[in-house]
Amino acid sequence: MTTPYDEAADAEWAADRREQLLAKVRQQRPERLSVSGDMTPDVAAWSRRLATYEAGNLLLGGPTGTGKTWHAWEALEQAVKDGFAGRWDFADSADWQDTISPPVDRDRIALMREVDLLILDDLGSSRINEWQRECLLSVIDKRWANARPVVITFNVKSLGEMLGGRLSSRLADDATRILLEGDDRRRAS
């Protein structure tokens, strides 16, 4: 049985840890993606499940400029606010290309396999060849086997056509798939 002092100390430690994690998210979140806004209800619901470690994959698709990357950052930040204390890695398409270009960054691949949440932003914004699919499969297969969620943002019509059956099957398993629609927000400003 814990004493009231221990409970208070635990609560204080958890609050401090949450603030440190939130500061890390805010520090790494790009300035243009730090604007406030409302998440779509389905993304907000997924974020709440992530905070309780009950979330599967999140597949965010839609045309260019509809807020997919913003939603990915916002979902991460909200999950941390709500109690998600896991390790995460946010990789945009350039990060992914840098990771798998020879010589392959084996440390980053290992990190992507093991973190509690992996976010791959703009997957498929450039052509994906067989080598890239194999590298991605090595990451996604390990994550799928250990029930570690991944967020994928994409603007292609079909992940299956782009990634092939093995990858798309693993990504679709226990996934929330959301299609964001609308005009390119960057052109409106």
Question: Which of 10-19, 56-65, 134-143 shows the lowest mean pLDDT across its residues?
Answer: 10-19
Q: What pLDDT does 40 receive?
A: 96
Q: What pLDDT does 44 receive?
A: 97
Q: What pLDDT does 188 receive?
A: 58
Query: What is the share, in percent, of the chain residues with pLDDT greater than 70?
Result: 95
Q: How many other β-carbons are positioned within 10 Å of the β-carbon of residue 140?
A: 26
Per-residue pLDDT for 126 more than 90? no
Q: How many other β-carbons are positioned within 10 Å of the β-carbon of residue 93?
A: 17
Please choose, from the candidates 57, 40, 46, the residue with its C-alpha nearest in 3D space to the C-alpha of residue 118: 57
For 24-34, the pLDDT digits (tens) are 999 999 998 99
The structural domains of the chain, ordered by start, are: 4-188 (3.40.50.300)
pTM of the model: 0.89
Per-residue pLDDT for 77 more than 80? yes
Q: Considering only residues 186 and 23, tell me which one the structure prediction assigns the higher pLDDT.
A: 23
CA 120 to chain centre: 6
Per-residue pLDDT for 88 more than 70? yes
Instruction: Name the band, by pLDDT with cuts 50, 70 and 90, for residue 74.
Output: very high
Q: Considering only residues 130 and 75, tell me which one the structure prediction assigns the higher pLDDT.
A: 75
**DSSP collapsed to 3 states, the chain:** CCCHHHHHHHHHHHHHHHHHHHHHHHHHCCHHHCCCCCCCHHHHHHHHHHHCCCCCCEEEECCCCCCHHHHHHHHHHHHHHCCCCCCEEEECHHHHHHHHCCCCCHHHHHHHHHCCEEEECCCCCCCCCHHHHHHHHHHHHHHHHCCCCEEEEECCCCHHHHHCHHHHHHHHCCCEEEECCCCCHHHHC
For 130-168, the pLDDT digits (tens) are 888 889 999 999 999 999 999 999 986 777 778 888 999
Instruction: Name the band, by pLDDT with cuts 50, 70 and 90, for residue 172.
Output: very high
Q: What pLDDT does 141 receive?
A: 96
* Phi and psi torsions of 151, nearest 5°: -105, 130
Q: Average pLDDT over the chain, rounded to whole?
A: 90
